[in-house]
Chain A
Amino acid sequence: MTHQDTTQQHQADWAEAAVAEHAEENDTGHLAHATVGAAPASREQLVLERIDRARRARPRVREKLITLAHGAGGKATQSLIEAIFLDAFRNPLLEPLEDAATVTAGNVQLAFTTDSYVVSPLFFPGGNIGDLAVNGTVNDLAVSGARPAHLSAGFILEEGFPVEDLRRIVASMAAAATAAGVSIVTGDTKVVQRGKGDGCYINTAGVGLITSGLNLGVATARPGDVVIVSGPVGDHGITIMLERGELDLEADLVSDTASVYELVQGLLDAVGPDVRAMRDATRGGVATILNEVATAAGVAVVVEEEAVPVRPEVRGACELLGIDPLYVACEGRIVVIVDPAAADAAVAALQAHPLGAGATVVGRVAVDPPGLVLLKTGFGGTRIIDLLVGDPLPRIC
């Protein structure tokens, strides 16, 4: 190895620091590794437990600068939220990290949420940034069991942005708000210098009335519960990726952006007390939601790959790009966790609405292994569905 000897050598300080930081756990693991006579299965089990402990440790943001991974909805986003935002703002209303917070005003219960929209391109088949900005916030309220009532709209516009484009976006917002039965009651406008923004960013916040008295939340999932999705997954994300034109692929696909309020209402009218949790599957897709369920409730979620509805066009694009459709964003699909006794009635209630025509059971909540999402593959094997580290593709919502 003469080349090594003659070449100047450095060490990667960050890597050495990471090894040193975990030295104690690693020694335990090493003991496990060296345990004489232990069966491999039990040695592996010890390592799995060690990893589980490491994953439950307090999240930290090690990076000195924000990277795109922090906005991708996976593990990096989660660490950023928990280590920076939750750490500074900590309070009982924020802590559940649900899609909307439940706040009390007098004897009225309100759901309160906010979301920012930075999608590129601004216009795509099936909608534009305006539709997303209204529907996304309406949906966060709806899946919290609230009736969406009022929205705010904040615009950050870039110098040089065509007024005609802004008109189209705002017209879409007005139409989406009418369709969802909400009013946009307050707003804000800022213009930044050319090059300091990407045409148009929108933030919306919304409040809704909670009248159902249901106790919804991913932490309430229990073994035996059934997992339902309301229709084909991944339409929005793949539509956006194709629309960017970087892939030279074409497919007859439109975004699924829509308000799910009526869909949710139909479900709650039919089987309300049996619903444990609902989420709209946006950034990070169905897989991210199921991981939230598994972690928050300390249960396993077992998904049947063949039961997950995916359009052939979406599946084809995902195969080409090496993406799992379970991680691809939707903008009008919900995931429902429901008591097994009410599963058929829940599917029927969802299917009664056009947005839920493709509703189907995709999996179950189980006891073991707690905190993990397992996939029974169509091929007949089993694997984990973990949170993504980051999205390899640019922003999509």
Chain B
Amino acid sequence: MRFVDEYRDAEKARTLAAKIAALCEPGRHYKFMEVCGGHTHTIYKHGLEDYLPESITLVHGPGCPVCVLPMGRVDDAIALAEQPDVIMTSFGDMMRVPGGRGSFFDSSAAGTDIRMVYSPLDALKIARQNPNKHVIFMAIGMETTAPSTAMTVLRAAAEGIENFSIFCNHVMIVPAIKAILDSPDLRLDGFIGPGHVSTVIGCRPYEYIPAEYGKPIVTAGFEPLDILQSVYMLLQQLADGRCEVENQYSRVVPWDGNTVALRAMGEVMELRPYFEWRGLGFISHSALQVREKYAAFDAERHFTLPGVRVADPKACQCGEVLKGVLKPWECKVFGTACTPEMPIGTCMVSSEGACAAYYNFGRFSRERIREVSIETSRA
């Protein structure tokens, strides 16, 4: 398949892996964080760690918008779905995310009308088709999806649709990276920067990372060779004594971002004073809310929300996993109390979460697999 296969070439991967190994200083250990859940997914789905020397550890960051949604917000969303004559609409991967009282799937089984959509425009279509119902779109995601939510609100306003609103849970990646950088546990050598988010915000917002924190960052694409190449670029920066923002994903990411998308976002939304991230706690100016001007399309203004905070179980060590202090399997409840069927912590929720990716794709001993390969190639 064009535009896909060329980024999954095993031969090129072997060449890059050799260059990566050659760049590693003997005796030094490197820890790089891939910020974006999409990267985590790619790393595990393609078995990319098989190409990295043992001295490089990839730490899986907080860039999975489904994973970082606190349980209390899920409960709020379910409370909205329970209002009379409401149709709640949501992306599919939100359906299984647990709140304090269960997930959208559970709520739907109990009788609420929750429908999966592939785009917020589909939600608007449902509103047009159901004039006697109020249709709410569960808006989640980082800067990647916020513009499409904003465009949908603008469309609804232009068409004068009165039975549509959004429950805004959009979060922003830069404050989250900053929170991680400010954490005293931090031991990172650099960042593999988010790709999809950067298509909207560009690379400039990351300039504080090398400037103020002295860590290199390379914005990367989502195919496995993209990620290997960005690891190589990070090592090259360290070897050269450079520390800067580089753009590996230049085929898609413009340095200044997408100004049309940013304008739409700015028109409809503004920063919240603070927002809770599961596993990371409250982060100032890290999320978006609907501006007063578009209050008619804000579910939080239409309805009264319970707004109850639900504490993570004490055994849950997601915060440590998100900051790279613990590997997924080092968490006490990993794989026993906390599984993809019954995720307790943030990182086990979506297939882009670090724990779910490890559980679904990487739950085996690499030592033993090497033996298996030898055995099967002999057979």
Contact = CB atoms under 8 A, between A and B. Distances in A.
Interface of A: 1, 3-4, 7-16, 18-19, 21-22, 25-26, 29-30, 33, 41, 43-45, 47-48, 50-51, 54, 62-63, 65-69, 75-76, 79, 223-224, 246-247, 300, 302, 312, 315-316, 319, 322, 340, 364, 366-369, 372, 374-384, 386, 389-390, 392-394
A19 B105 contact: no
Contact of A66 (B109, B313, B334, B366): B109
A315 B1 contact: yes
Interface in B253-309: 274, 276, 281-282, 307-309
Contacts, number: 218
B337 A26 contact: yes
A364 B376 contact: yes
13 contacts: A4-B309, A7-B309, A10-B72, A29-B336, A30-B332, A50-B335, A51-B359, A223-B379, A315-B1, A367-B375, A382-B366, A382-B373, A386-B363
A48 B363 CA distance: 7
A278 B71 CA distance: 44
Given A18-B342, A382-B50, A41 B365 contact: yes
Contact of B336 (A54, A380, A384): A54
Contact of B122 (A29, A246, A378): A246
Given A15-B313, A366-B375, 14 more contacts: A4-B282, A12-B310, A19-B316, A26-B333, A41-B366, A44-B365, A65-B110, A224-B379, A312-B1, A369-B365, A379-B8, A380-B13, A381-B50, A384-B361
A16 B49 contact: no
B93 A377 contact: no
A251 B313 CA distance: 47
B46 A11 contact: no
B155 interface: no
B30 interface: no
A33 B313 contact: no
A interface SS class: mixed
Interface of B: 1, 4, 8-10, 13-14, 44-51, 71-72, 92-93, 95-96, 98-102, 105-106, 108-110, 116, 118, 122, 224, 274, 276, 281-282, 307-313, 315-316, 329-330, 332-342, 344, 351, 359-369, 371-373, 375-376, 379
Given A3-B282, A19-B313, A26-B315, A381 B364 contact: no
Nearest to A380: B10
Nearest to B224: A379
Contacts of A379: 8-10, 13, 46-48, 224
A4 B309 CA distance: 8
A47 B72 CA distance: 31
Contacts of A13: 100
Pairs A-B, 8 closest by C-beta atoms: A381-B47, A51-B335, A380-B10, A22-B337, A65-B109, A392-B92, A379-B46, A383-B361
Contacts of B359: 51, 386
A9 B313 contact: no
Name the residue in B44, B47, B105, B360 with the highest tally of chain A Cβ atoms < 10 Å from its Cβ: B47
Contacts of A322: 351
Contacts of A224: 379
Contact of A386 (B116, B309, B360): B360
